[in-house]
Amino acid sequence: MFAEILTIGDELLTGNTVDSNSAFIAKKLTERGYWVRRITTVGDDVEEIKTAVREALARKPEVLIISGGLGPTHDDVTMLAVAEALNRKLILCEPCLEKIKAFYEKLYREGHIDDPNLNEGRRKMSYLPEGAEPLENTEGAALGAFIEHEGVKIFVLPGMPREMKAMLEREVLSRLGKRKFIQKKFLAEITDESKLAPILKEALERFSVRIHSSPKGFGKFIGIIIFAEDEEEIERAKAFMEAKGVRFEEL
Amino acid sequence: MFAEILTIGDELLTGNTVDSNSAFIAKKLTERGYWVRRITTVGDDVEEIKTAVREALARKPEVLIISGGLGPTHDDVTMLAVAEALNRKLILCEPCLEKIKAFYEKLYREGHIDDPNLNEGRRKMSYLPEGAEPLENTEGAALGAFIEHEGVKIFVLPGMPREMKAMLEREVLSRLGKRKFIQKKFLAEITDESKLAPILKEALERFSVRIHSSPKGFGKFIGIIIFAEDEEEIERAKAFMEAKGVRFEEL
């Protein structure tokens, strides 16, 4: 059961913005029991996005989450690129148009903008790939999209973190089933780090857990994250490793 | 002249770590005039890394920067995966072994570790793909590697930000030539954002600049970054756009 994430934006490729969206999405998916297998970032370019979407689909993930490039400006081309990648038409979503209209009228009434009318850029946001279900944006104008395509659940979300997070929580996670994983972090101490590998391997075979390890600074400390469906299973795996000589400190 | 970045680490795919390395590397490459076309993240898995390296090479970038997975623990498999991706052997680098030995002896003398001897995990770090040039790590044990492969300059760097940054500055940028790009950020104001696209397009045709734009909040403000080889070219492009009705505020 694996997932992929695709983030879109020139600002990510020039290093002007750190891609914190990927980590947020990855954490939520991991908690739901998905293995995030790959994260890809491309720029605001129809061909680049199209290629990246097709490559991700070819790997047959259960879920593909795409974030970024849904706004009103000329370089927001994600919906068009997704539609092309799926060989679907980009079609007007009438209820979306009404929502976007209402959104800009509200901004105008509140004095944020000079003109409430739907120009080309704003109108563009009401076009979705054919067959897509619109996803509500409680924090901004751009609607998201949910598309089931050849067995892959594709979610297209905005790139602004506040909008993306709200849409992920409200509209995405509810469509991904109920199974929840929990994770606990530890600092593991072992005098010879080369002895850790066989112990981890045996724990993985004996218990329903996933374990990630990463070195923390120099020497004998290793960061360990144990994932399981319940805390008891984490404790059982931990006790097993302790009996083999690993000392844990909870983080 | 384009580049790709590949970051490696399970902690990035579970969302436990935000990948700030990519943004740091991307910024430095952009300043050198490279267009970073794609950033990919995969886990600590030989097959996943191998596949990602081969896919990146197939796109024929001038530079491929790989970061992460060079340490002594069992899940640090990047050098092996890179060697396999390039169909090269992983061979012992004798001077590297001496450096790693000296590094752990120093840690031992300073009381950071209990055992200065080179166990399997530590010894592993002195193996590089055949034909690779070792890159010095002033901040840690794991050496990097520089490999020229079928016209692509491949740099393999550690994942710990302090080590990666020092190696990038000292060992990578000096091998990438002298051309420097500068960038300036502005907030652009235009009453109808749909009018901005043709103005940007014309500026790109007339001047030796690259321009990135992204919406900032609601309404009529757009974040603009202009890249050029000198400040005068940026000023000329900006003056042209101002004459067409765009108002700039420097950020």
CATH classification of the domain holding A202: 3.30.70.260
Among A135-149, A209-223, B166-180, the minimum mean pLDDT is found in A209-223
Q: Confirm or reject contact between A100 and chain B (CB < 8 A).
A: no
Q: Are residues B129 and B201 in the same domain?
A: no
**Which residues of A, range 218-247, sit inside 8 Å of B by Cβ?**
218-220, 222-223, 225, 227
Name the domain boundary from A144, A175, A206. A175
Q: Which has the minimum average pLDDT: A64-78, A186-200, B173-187?
A: A186-200
Residue B169: HSE in the Cβ half-sphere, 13 Å Cα cutoff? 10
Same domain membership, residue A231 and residue A111: no
Rounded to a whole number of angstroms, the distance from the CA of A75 to the nearest CA of chain B is 7
Mean pLDDT for the stretch of residues A219-228: 79
- Mutation for A interface: B8, B14, B100, most A CBs within 10 A: B14
Say if residue A163 is in the same domain as residue A186: no
SS3 (DSSP) at A144: strand
Token readout for B223 is 């974040």
Using a CB-CB cut-off of 8 Å, the residues of chain B touching A28 are 15
Q: What is the reported pLDDT for A5?
A: 98
pLDDT-derived band at B216, boundaries 50, 70, 90: low
Residue of B nearest to A226 (CA): B14
Domain that holds residue A246: 182-250
Q: Which of A148, A175, A202 is the last residue of a domain?
A: A175
pLDDT of B1 over the 70 cut? yes
Mean pLDDT (chain A, rounded): 91
SS3 B219: coil
Touching check for B47 and chain A: CB below 8 Å?
A: no
Claim to verify: residue A22 and residue A72 sit in the same structural domain: yes
Instruction: Please indicate, yes or no, whether residues B187 and B165 belong to a single structural domain of this protein.
Output: no
CA distance B68 to B79: 10
Alpha-carbon span A62 to A29, nearest angstrom:
11
Both B210 and B137 in one domain: the answer is no
Q: Do residues B209 and B148 make contact, with C-beta atoms less than 8 angstroms apart? A: no
B73 to A197: CB separation less than 8 angstroms, yes or no: yes
Q: Answer whether residue A214 shows pLDDT above 80.
A: no
Answer yes or no: do B62 and B120 share one domain.
yes
A126 in the same domain as A22 = yes
- Looking at B146, B175, B204, the residue that finishes a domain is B175
Q: Does A202 touch chain B (CB under 8 A)?
A: no
- Residues B242/B246/B247/B249 CA torsion (nearest 10 deg): -100
pLDDT tens by residue, A138-190: 999 999 999 999 999 999 999 999 999 999 999 999 999 766 778 888 888 87
B13 and B117 co-located in one domain: yes
Predicted pLDDT of residue A193 = 63
Pair B161, B233 in one domain:
no
Structural domain total, chain B: 2
Reported as a single tens digit per residue, the pLDDT across A102-147 is: 999 999 999 888 888 888 888 999 999 999 999 999 999 999 999 9
Domain holding A78: CATH number?
3.40.980.10
**Token pair of B149, please?**
């492969």
Judge if A58 and A164 occupy the same domain.
Answer: yes
Query: Considering only A2-11, A71-80, B219-228, which range has the smallest mean pLDDT?
Result: B219-228
Check whether residue B134 and residue B41 sit in a common domain.
yes
Residues 6+ apart with CB under 8 A from B239: none
Q: Looking at the complex, report in whole angstroms how far the Cα of residue B206 sits from the nearest Cα belonging to chain A.
A: 19
CB contact under 8 A, B27 and A16: yes
Q: What is the mean pLDDT of residues B143-160?
A: 97
Mean pLDDT of the residues in chain B: 91
